[in-house]
Amino acid sequence: MIGRELSVRVPASTANLGSGFDTLGLALALYDEVWLRVVDRGVRVEVSGEGADAVPRDASHLLLRALRAATDALGVELPGVELRCVNRIPHARGLGSSAATIVSGIAAGYALAGREPDESALDLAARFEGHADNVAASMVGGVVVAWSSAGASPTFRALRLEPHRALAPVLLVPEVESATHTTRGLLPERVPHEDAAFAASRAALAVAALTSRPDLLLDATGDRLHQEYRRPAWPRSLALVEELRAAGVPAAISGAGPTVVAFPVGAPSWAGFDTSGFEVCPLAVDTRGVTVREEPADP
């Protein structure tokens, strides 16, 4: 085991897609990369790129905690680890950075056990994150429908669906950050039945829109379960979503915000919209999910 080296590549993701709160996810072709070596003791962490000035450099690093959870669950001995992270997914913006990091750690742990990430890996990752939409997208790529059943084993599950080839998401990423745990705290305990019915119809429609009928994305990305409640956390982002939707462009808050995800048809002109302070990032859809490569041992 000592001396084994792995490299991991994991995609970002956009969750919710408006109507599918904690349920729908889409993997994006923006990747964090990690190189990892098993050593005889201790922990050494190097980080470059996003979050390099903020994330811990010890065993409390999120990836190492997820890795340890996986190796403990699989009975793999892990005396020490060296880690080099190249982070490209912005943190706390609604692009699934924490989920991608958790998935990297868990996929690496499974690889050390000689296993592909499977249903149990997804359950473990989702337990870390608290919900499965982003982790499922980062793990398997494409479109995912995630669900949980309290008390069941596995608790968290997901179904992967093939994205329609015309899906061309554009992410509008602001400078400001918004922590997911803070905006989850803005959600009410209960919602009106009428809003639940609205959500059920739009989420069901979104499955069709994302996989075979992108022309239905405007209706399919309508939301009444979370965005309005979270408005105080990112008023400008939600105003931009409303502006885009009023002009017929399907748009929603990406994950827990503050990034906006839009699905313009053709080459859009952003000139008519107030995108000041947002970086406009067209991103392809990732269809592979996390990949782990075993690096050859030193001769």
Ligand X SMILES: N[C@@H](CCO)C(=O)O
Ligand Y SMILES: Nc1ncnc2c1ncn2[C@@H]1O[C@H](COP(=O)(O)OP(=O)(O)OP(=O)(O)O)[C@@H](O)[C@H]1O
Instruction: Please state the closest distance from residue 247 (CB atom) to ligand Y, in A.
Output: 25
Judged by CB under 6 A, the residue of 19, 23, 71, 87 near ligand Y is 87
Is 94 known as a binding-site position? Answer: yes
Q: How far is the CB of 102 from ligand Y (least distance, A)?
A: 9
Closest residue by beta carbon to ligand Y: 255
Tell me the closest approach of the beta carbon of residue 231 to ligand X, in angstroms: 14
Name which of 22 and 50 has its Cβ closer to ligand X: 22
Query: Which listed option, ligand X, ligand Y, none, makes contact with residue 174 (CB within 5 to 8 Å by class)?
Result: none
Provide, rounded to whole angstroms, the least separation between the CB of residue 183 and ligand X: 6
> Among candidates 7, 6, 10, 70, which has minimal Cα distance to 290?
10
Q: Is residue 99 marked as binding?
A: yes
248 C-beta neighbours (distance < 10 Å), count: 10
Residue 166 is assigned to a ligand binding site: no
**16 contributes a contact to ligand Y by CB under 6 A:** no
Candidates 19, 71, 101, 227: give the one binding ligand Y (CB under 6 A). 101
Indicate whether 91 belongs to the interface with ligand Y (CB under 6 A).
yes
* CA gap 236, 97 in Å, rounded: 22
Among 70, 78, 207, 256, binds ligand Y (CB under 6 A): 256
Q: In the range 210-229, which residues lie near ligand X by CB under 6 A? A: 226
Instruction: Consult the annotation and say whether 269 binds a ligand.
Output: no
Long-range contacts of 227-232 (CB under 8 A, 24+ apart): 227/18, 227/252, 227/253, 229/186, 229/187, 229/188, 230/183, 230/186, 230/187, 230/256, 230/257, 232/186
Largest CA distance in the chain: 65
Q: Measured between alpha carbons, how far is 283 from 142 in angstroms, rounded to an integer?
A: 13
- 133 is an interface residue for ligand Y by CB under 6 A: no
Q: 117 touches which of ligand Y, ligand X, none (CB within 5 to 8 A by kind)?
A: none
**Residue with Cβ nearer ligand Y (71 or 134):** 134
* Binding footprint of ligand Y, residue count (CB under 6 A): 24
Which window, 15-23, 57-65, 242-250, 288-296, contacts ligand X (CB under 6 A)? 15-23
Asked whether residue 100 is marked as a ligand-binding residue, the answer is yes
Binding stretches for ligand Y (CB under 6 A): 15, 32, 51, 55, 61-63, 85, 87, 91-99, 101, 134, 179-180, 255-256
**Annotated binding residues for ATP:** 90-100
Binding stretches for ligand X (CB under 6 A): 15-16, 21-22, 131, 133-134, 180, 184, 226, 255-256
